[in-house]
Chain A
């Protein structure tokens, strides 16, 4: 019969229309500013810098190694190294960035800076409502605007942040063990040799406040079938 196909199609449309009143499955629109779809945990948009502790300037993990600046595909990162040094999370004196700018209008959210960072210093944010009336300055973020606390990182990417903390704690423990061994060796040397000069480096006792326990994602995966 001519028109049968059209009627069948219209029946489908009617079923969807009527279904949207009874089944949430068929009602897909979320009325955005009033309602919000849940944010998916692993989502990403723009990078931020992680700092430990409460002082953002002292706690920045970034050591201005400039790997992210070099690897950034659209070249939106600009870093100036410091001339002096400050201690990092394992207590080793490190250079820090006196300037760390990211041009958010150029950034393409590819996450390569996060992947290449050896210091877990740069991570991806989930904040997407970033519109501003200042087209140039408003989208060029300096290191103060980019700095976010580790707690904030935990609040947006809990699983990933826990993994990162576990890794950092492990590294710190390793560094402390090494420092202890070095101190012991130096002490032994000092005791053995009468002409030994004092070895002040690495002599201070390791601080035992490393958070050693943190949740880690299960490594082996369930196989299907």
Chain B
């Protein structure tokens, strides 16, 4: 089976996009288990209705909606600026990339230009966010394997340093509300850039430590290799994006494909998986983190002086011309897109989000069928979701 780029190829075999339907052995009754919504291993209020034959998963139905906050409808009743702080609360592990995607959509709608310096700041912050997200995603994944705490705390130690940087610049650790249409809210001081450099210098050491701690670990390998295989055809068909897709061996990174913002100026590689399993997803995140260090380094070297806001940009009370725009970025979890329709009013007529977490979660059943129930939690962890984004 060869997949060229992300073009779908029709397979002649029957039922190629689904694993074979699982049938229970013999006459035994199925055991139905509701995993969640309060299961300590899930990433939030998420339920999996699992039908088990012994240890084997026969059916799995993801149930979400427990954290639904009416985000999209709220956005339609609110000015364009008013939705910006709410985007922080979508994927609360990486608020800055959410800000960025929304700002990109509105900038497309109004046709605003972003100054150079603001673009560099966005890239630095976006890549720091990717480091934060991937480090904690790996931490959670290992936690779900049973290593209670140590890797997660190592990741969180590093995360805290980066969150301190965010706080020094934007005023908040997580609910940053930093990007604006046509630039950024506050400028970075030389002291802040120096602090980023200092944290960045410590990051490769952290990645080495993390790798020493985990990659060669026999228990981790035994638990994750060959588990939760996601075949590339299915990944493409289901619209899976981000590290999940790349772990399935498909070279699709919106930073390369769209070259949005100024990503075509930076040199970085896109790691791809070969075995399509949980271990590949874990390794892809580690490798992507290392690539991010390189991007931040290049951005810090290249950041120019200048304004950070488009002088024509208005903060409030603007009315974009009727039309529609879709702004998308490579968020740490996958393609995050905001789709806006304007009818010429101060509010968007339609405000729609394409959340990577939700769409990556749709292949959960296909990855879990036939595996042991203990692996379900692990496979779920390898998807790396945040329920704030799934339910919105």
Q: Which residues of A contact B (CB under 8 A)?
A: 2-6, 8-9, 11-13, 16, 28, 40-44, 67, 71, 73, 108-112, 115-116, 124, 217, 220-225
Alpha-carbon gap, A12 to B214, bound state (A): 10
6 examples of A-B residue contacts, CB within 8 angstroms: A5-B221, A8-B216, A13-B150, A40-B167, A42-B171, A110-B175
Complex contact A12–B85 (CB within 8 A): no
Q: In the docked arrangement, what's the CA distance between A9 and B221, Å?
A: 13
Report if B261 contacts A (CB, 8 A): no
Any A CB within 8 A of the CB of B70: no
Q: Within 8 Å of chain A (Cβ to Cβ): is B2?
A: no
> Given A221-B305, A223-B303, do A44 and B171 touch, yes or no (CB 8 Å)?
yes
B residues neighboring A (CB under 8 Å): 78-79, 81-86, 117, 150, 154, 157, 160, 164, 167-172, 175, 177, 185-190, 193, 197, 209, 212-221, 300-305, 315-316
Please name all residues of chain A whose beta carbon is closer than 8 Å to the beta carbon of B86 when the two chains form the complex.
73
Residue of B nearest to A1 (CB): B218
Known contacts A71-B81, A108-B85; A222 and B167 CB within 8 A of each other: no
Complex: chain B residue closest to A26, CB-CB: B157
Query: Are B171 and A221 within 8 A (Cβ)?
Result: no
- With contact pairs A9-B216, A40-B164, A71-B316 given, residues A225 and B157 touching in the complex (Cβ less than 8 Å): no
CB contacts (< 8 Å) of A8 on chain B: these are 212-213, 216-217
Give Cα A41–Cα B83 distance, bound, in whole angstroms: 26
Say which residue of A4, A71, A108 sits within 8 Å of B175 (CB atoms): A108
How many angstroms from the CA of A109 to the CA of B173 in the assembled complex? 12
Query: 10 extra interchain contacts, Cβ-Cβ under 8 A, other than A44-B171, A108-B175?
Result: A5-B220, A8-B213, A9-B216, A16-B154, A108-B85, A112-B85, A217-B189, A222-B190, A222-B193, A224-B193
Closest Cβ–Cβ distance, residue B30 to chain A (whole Å): 37
- Give which listed residue, A9, A42, A223, contacts B169 with CB less than 8 A: A42
Is the CB–CB distance between B171 and A124 below 8 Å? Answer: yes
B201 to chain A, nearest CB (A): 12
CA distance A101 to B344 in the complex (A): 33
- Is there an interface contact between A5 and B216, defined as CB atoms closer than 8 Å? yes
Closest residue of B by beta carbon distance from A116: B316
Instruction: Give chain A nearest CB distance to B90 CB in angstroms.
Output: 14
Q: A42-B186, A115-B315 are in contact. Are A225 and B302 (CB under 8 A)?
A: yes
Taking the nearest CB of chain B, how far is it from the CB of A114, in angstroms? 10
Structural contact, B167 and A42, CB atoms closer than 8 A = yes
Contact indicator B301/A43 (Cβ below 8 Å): no
Most buried by B among A16, A42, A109, A124: A42
- List chain B residues, Cβ under 8 A from A11: 212
A2: which of B79, B177, B218 is its contact (CB, 8 Å)? B218
Per a CB cutoff under 8 Å, which of A13, A42, A116, A222 touches B315?
A: A116
